[in-house]
Amino acid sequence: MVNSRVLQIGPLSERFNRTLADHYQVTALWQQADPLRFLEEQGGQFELLVSSARFGCSAEQLQCLPNLRAICSFGVGYDPYPLELLRDRGIVLSTTPDVLNDCVADLAMGLIIDTARQLAAADRFVRQGQWLTGNYPLTRKVSGKKLGIVGLGRIGQAIARRAEGFAMPVRYHKRCQDLSSPYGFEADLLALARWADFLVLACPGGAATHHLIDADVLAALGPQGVLVNISRGSVVDQTALVAALLDGSLGGAGLDVFESEPAVPAELFVLPNVVLLPHVGSGTHETRLQMEELVLANLQAFFDKGELLTPL
Ligand code: NAP
């Protein structure tokens, strides 16, 4: 029997917070005057925890939660959770897979098109009255260009399917070849970067992928190549990326995620071949509602039967 007390690490939408409070005895950790002290004194009462790919749960916090059994997390990223510690303690973790694939893949295609055709920059050109004095410069074609995908999981595959509609040849890199995939596997990331016109990142964040995209990969992508990142900022060496964009050794970048969000390198603000988004991959009304419902369904399933619906 699981008790109905739920610890919530950080705020989600008002709607979600209300629904959660309607069904459980919720303690909002972020509203405590001294959250860590609160956990040290009262952490023992919680078996259920709700958090998100943004707030996660630190090893330090987990130490104050000796009876924790399940974490229901909003989002698919699991990089802010100490997975080994969770495994050792037998704490199960659910995420919200699949329901966000379409929106994140749509956004990746949007970034591909915007970086190449410079939609946002051309829009600024019109708004600033510059069209009255001249035409916008030519940009680069998207259809038929070669697409490299790093991480061909749920979102990566959704991106690849969309790229087929643009007649883009697709190749991918990940740790293991997917023998059932119709797309070409490239074990060597540098070779994929050399081949690709667009390199889209759709792998997880965390230690294993930290700075996977370094100065060498960016150099391989080259002055005509475009990097699109909808995965995690930590996957890219951001200092190397800024340097490559500023000196023209990389053709462009479409970025939804950054190393220290919400900080974005100001050097990028003036570059027309760079599109900067505030981590909005899954940020539509429809998808966020489905993600909230999946967090609540996981919580309810664990409360009722001791099992999560979408465990990691
Ligand atoms: P997924 O289904 O688990 O797919 C992850 C893919 O990455 C798999 O193909 C995996 O294949 C590959 N991968 C794992 N480690 C790798 C490594 N070290 N090097 C290369 N490839 C590696 O995950 P998903 O649902 O598609 O989500 C992917 C990521 O998108 C999430 O983890 C999250 O960070 C990000 N995301 C961003 C947003 C946003 O708002 N921008 C929203 C949702 C998700 P192998 O295991 O064979 O390597």
Dump pLDDT digits (tens) for 94-134. Answer: 999 999 999 999 999 999 999 999 999 999 999 999 999 99
Report the candidate in 273, 243, 277 with the shortest Cα–Cα distance to residue 258.
Answer: 277
243 CA to centre of ligand 1 in angstroms: 26
**Which are the contacts of 130, defined by CB distance < 8 A and separation ≥ 6?**
none
**Which are the contacts of 298, defined by CB distance < 8 A and separation ≥ 6?**
72, 94, 308, 309, 310
The boundaries of every CATH 3.40.50.720 domain in the chain are 5-97+286-305, 101-276
Whole-number pLDDT of residue 280 = 98
CB-CB contact of 17 with 8 (8 Å): yes
Whole-number pLDDT of residue 96 = 98
Average pLDDT, the chain: 98
Which among 171, 173, 232, 288 is annotated as catalytic? 232
Q: What are the tens digits of pLDDT across the range 213-241?
A: 999 999 999 999 999 999 999 999 999 99
Cis peptide before 169 (omega within 30 of 0): no
Q: What share of the chain is helix, strand, coil (3-state, %, to 5)?
A: 40, 15, 40
Whole-number pLDDT of residue 1 = 82
Q: What are the tens digits of pLDDT across the range 19-45?
A: 999 999 999 999 999 999 999 999 999
194 as an active site residue: the answer is no
Under CATH, what is the fold of the domain 101-276? Rossmann fold (3.40.50)
Map residue 104 onto helix, strand or coil.
Answer: helix
Neighbours of 166 (CB within 10 A): 15
Beta-bridged to residue 172, according to DSSP, are 149, 185
Which among 261, 267, 286, 307 is annotated as catalytic? 261
232 as an active site residue: the answer is yes
261 as an active site residue: the answer is yes
Hey, which of 76, 188, 200 would you mutate to test ligand 1's pocket, going by the most ligand atoms within 8 Å of its Cβ? Answer: 76
Considering the domain 5-97+286-305, what is its CATH architecture?
3-Layer(aba) Sandwich (3.40)
What is the sign of the dihedral through the CA atoms of 239, 245, 251 and 257? positive
* Rounded CA separation 81/120 (Å): 35
C-alpha distances (whole Å) from 279 to each of 97, 101, 206, 225, 234 are 17, 15, 17, 22, 13
Return the residue whose CA atom lies nearest to atom 36 of ligand 1. 231
Whole-number pLDDT of residue 209 = 98
10 Å CB burial of residue 266 (0-12, 13-18, 19+) is exposed
Q: Do the bridges between strand 70-74 and strand 92-94 make them parallel or antiparallel, or are there none, so unpaired?
A: parallel
C-beta of 205 in contact with ligand 1 (< 6 A): yes
Neighbours of 304 (CB within 10 A): 9
Q: Is the pTM of this model over 0.95?
A: yes
* Rounded CA separation 278/237 (Å): 18
Mean pLDDT on 259-263: 97
Q: What is the CA radius of gyration of the chain?
A: 21
* Rounded CA separation 68/43 (Å): 9
